[in-house]
A and B are shown apart, each in its own frame.
Chain A
Amino acid sequence: MKKTLYIFTNGQFHRKDNTIYFETEQGEKRFIPVEDTGEIMIFGEVDINKRFLEFLSQKEIILHYFSHYGYYMGSFYPREHLNSGYMILRQAEHYIDENKRLSIARLLVEGAGKNILRVLKYYKARDKKVDNSIVTIETLLGTIATCNDIPSLMAIEGNMREAYYKAFDEIIELPDFIFENRTRRPPKNYLNTLISFGNSLLYTICLGEIYRTHLDPRIGFLHTTNFRRFTLNLDIAEIFKPLIVDRVIFSLLGRKMITTDDFERGSEGILMKDRAKRCFIEQMEEKLKTTIKHREIGRAVSYRRLIRLELYKLEKHLMGEKVYEPFIATW
């Protein structure tokens, strides 16, 4: 599995013959193993040039950049290297046909909801009072089948998340990290800042996995395609947010690895300091590397790989081969 490179320091990227290196402001050079790098995430102030981008394109490495405030800004998504006209047509067909689109969107919401329940039930078993949220989400899950358009499906998804986030205070039990409301761009409190940061990371990771399949990231099913923005990665991330992002947040806070000292108040709302971002990323990478035994494949598969498998299942659904079944955690 290719690695993700995170850059926090300020400096410049250079291409040198058949490799690249990063030069810090102090003039320190760090060579990057290109064959082993899948994507680069830039958090610092970094200068790049066309020669460098050309090389990334050749090596099929994606570049994601985050603003000074830690918000996702965009990606350099190199030209598609896996082209299957057949698959693009199937994907577009399932978007254009209202019923086909709806059936995929339903499965995505159902998968997201079931994984949320999995997380809540884990905490229920640890005597956290999350019953109300569980009941609400179970009821909402039951209404998916009768939902006949995308906006009402999105509404169910929103309501499920709302009920889920209500349980966060009970799970986290830290007055400094109360949830209040979900706020974005900018997030208005510490917990929302963590959620936004984690979700952004997961979106880029899903995008990276999509790049390695024959799917087009611009055509999502739950999230509306507008051909300017990536949306399929948002769809796939729904399945994994509770299992990856939220669990990372719970353990970071539970183990006091991130505290209120790790934030500062800026003009753009609450910001995470670099130390906290690094700490979050480390835990997230740890989680992505964690493996589970996959029954069909017959060996251990990492969480990161599960994202790819999700895309494969989607491809098979689009091909009319096998109905997509979202990954549901069983523990």
Chain B
Amino acid sequence: MSDADIGVGGTLVWYYYICLRQVWLISHQITPDADDGNLILGRFIGETSYNREKKELAIGSSKMDVYHFNNGEMVVGEVKKSSKYNQSARMQLAFYLKELHKRGIQARGELRFPQEKKKEEVILDEDTLAEIERVERDILRLVYLQQPPPPVKNRFCKKCAYSEFCWS
């Protein structure tokens, strides 16, 4: 695998906080079971929510869900099915803010949970920035492993679309 193949994108950051094994699998295009009910529901929510806003902004290896401008300030939104994966979602959004910042755009982040009718603000501070940079390095390390990290049962396994793959 050449370096050009690998761009750490926002979704890898998201997976990083859920399960390291997922990071490896997805980076080898071993995608999860597409018939999984939660995946289908998540995709549906993403597609049908916030239709009045501009959608999908691609930067680098990332694609941001929604964005708009508020008094000249850019607001980037990430749409999630549930707030159960809060830390993952925050870091994914923080990563987008960092990518925008790198390109000279100062933006604010907003996590959106349409089903829970909830929004949360995400700001990129010094500590978050340092953490993101550490994570990016660690993701690259993981991706280059010859084999995926062994499955480890955690609280996310139960609803994970990879669980049958991992535990079969």
Q: Which residues from chain A sit less than 8 Å from chain B, CB to CB?
A: 1-2, 81-87, 212, 214, 296-298, 305, 308-310, 312-313, 315-316, 319-321
Report which of B33, B147, B163 forms a contact with A319, defined as CB distance below 8 A: B147
Q: How far is the CA of A78 from the CA of B43 in the complex (A)?
A: 22
Task: Please tell me if B31 contacts chain A, counting CB pairs below 8 Å.
Answer: yes
Instruction: Please name all residues of chain A whose beta carbon is closer than 8 Å to the beta carbon of B146 when the two chains form the complex.
Output: 320
Q: How far is the CA of A296 from the CA of B167 in the complex (A)?
A: 6
Could you tell me if A86 and B29 are in contact, using CB atoms closer than 8 angstroms?
yes
Contacts of B14-64 to chain A: CB distance below 8 A: 28-31, 33-35
Could you tell me if A312 and B29 are in contact, using CB atoms closer than 8 angstroms?
no
Q: How far is the CA of A10 from the CA of B28 in the complex (A)?
A: 45
Instruction: Please name all residues of chain A whose beta carbon is closer than 8 Å to the beta carbon of B164 when the two chains form the complex.
Output: 297, 305, 308-309, 312
18 further interface pairs, Cβ-Cβ under 8 Å (given A86-B30, A312-B164, A315-B165): A83-B29, A84-B28, A85-B29, A86-B28, A86-B29, A87-B28, A87-B30, A296-B167, A297-B168, A298-B167, A308-B164, A309-B164, A312-B168, A315-B30, A316-B165, A316-B168, A319-B147, A321-B150
Contact with A along B138-153 (1 / 0, CB 8 A): 0000000011101000
Report which of B30, B147, B167 forms a contact with A214, defined as CB distance below 8 A: B30
Q: How far is the CA of A214 from the CA of B150 in the complex (A)?
A: 19
Minimum CB–CB distance for A113 against chain B, Å: 21
Report which of B29, B33, B147 forms a contact with A321, defined as CB distance below 8 A: B147
Q: How far is the CA of A297 from the CA of B33 in the complex (A)?
A: 15
Known: A87-B30, A212-B34. A313 touches B147 (CB 8 A): no
In the complex, the chain A residue whose C-beta lies closest to that of B162 is A312
Q: How far is the CA of A1 from the CA of B35 in the complex (A)?
A: 7
Q: How far is the CA of A31 from the CA of B12 in the complex (A)?
A: 40
A sample of 28 cross-chain residue pairs with beta-carbon separation below 8 angstroms, ordered by A number, consists of A1-B35, A2-B35, A81-B34, A83-B29, A84-B28, A84-B30, A84-B31, A85-B29, A86-B29, A87-B28, A87-B29, A212-B33, A212-B34, A214-B29, A214-B31, A297-B163, A305-B164, A309-B164, A309-B168, A310-B168, A312-B164, A312-B165, A313-B168, A315-B30, A315-B165, A316-B168, A319-B147, A319-B148
Contacts of B102-152 to chain A: CB distance below 8 A: 146-148, 150
Instruction: Please name all residues of chain B whose beta carbon is closer than 8 Å to the beta carbon of A298 when the two chains form the complex.
Output: 167
Q: How far is the CA of A316 from the CA of B33 in the complex (A)?
A: 15
Instruction: Please name all residues of chain B whose beta carbon is closer than 8 Å to the beta carbon of A214 when the two chains form the complex.
Output: 29-31
Could you tell me if A321 and B165 are in contact, using CB atoms closer than 8 angstroms?
no
Q: Which residues from chain B sit less than 8 Å from chain A, CB to CB?
A: 28-31, 33-35, 146-148, 150, 163-165, 167-168
Could you tell me if A84 and B29 are in contact, using CB atoms closer than 8 angstroms?
yes
Q: How far is the CA of A84 from the CA of B32 in the complex (A)?
A: 12
Q: How far is the CA of A300 from the CA of B159 in the complex (A)?
A: 15
Minimum CB–CB distance for A57 against chain B, Å: 15
Instruction: Please name all residues of chain B whose beta carbon is closer than 8 Å to the beta carbon of A319 when the two chains form the complex.
Output: 147-148
Instruction: Please name all residues of chain B whose beta carbon is closer than 8 Å to the beta carbon of A320 when the two chains form the complex.
Output: 146-147
Instruction: Please name all residues of chain A whose beta carbon is closer than 8 Å to the beta carbon of B167 when the two chains form the complex.
Output: 296-298
Q: How far is the CA of A133 from the CA of B164 in the complex (A)?
A: 36
Instruction: Please name all residues of chain B whose beta carbon is closer than 8 Å to the beta carbon of A321 when the two chains form the complex.
Output: 147-148, 150
Known: A86-B29, A319-B148. A212 touches B168 (CB 8 A): no
Instruction: Please name all residues of chain A whose beta carbon is closer than 8 Å to the beta carbon of B33 when the two chains form the complex.
Output: 212
Closest 5 pairs (CB-CB, A-B):
A84-B29, A309-B168, A86-B28, A312-B168, A296-B167
In the complex, the chain B residue whose C-beta lies closest to that of A35 is B40
Q: How far is the CA of A292 from the CA of B150 in the complex (A)?
A: 26
Q: How far is the CA of A305 from the CA of B168 in the complex (A)?
A: 11
Q: How far is the CA of A214 from the CA of B165 in the complex (A)?
A: 12
Q: How far is the CA of A321 from the CA of B165 in the complex (A)?
A: 12
Instruction: Please name all residues of chain A whose beta carbon is closer than 8 Å to the beta carbon of B168 when the two chains form the complex.
Output: 296-297, 309-310, 312-313, 316
Q: How far is the CA of A323 from the CA of B43 in the complex (A)?
A: 34
Q: How far is the CA of A92 from the CA of B163 in the complex (A)?
A: 26
Minimum CB–CB distance for A89 against chain B, Å: 10
In the complex, the chain A residue whose C-beta lies closest to that of B40 is A35
Minimum CB–CB distance for B34 against chain A, Å: 7
Q: How far is the CA of A87 from the CA of B28 in the complex (A)?
A: 8
Instruction: Please name all residues of chain A whose beta carbon is closer than 8 Å to the beta carbon of B34 when the two chains form the complex.
Output: 81-82, 212
Minimum CB–CB distance for A254 against chain B, Å: 32
In the complex, the chain A residue whose C-beta lies closest to that of B29 is A84
Q: How far is the CA of A83 from the CA of B148 in the complex (A)?
A: 18
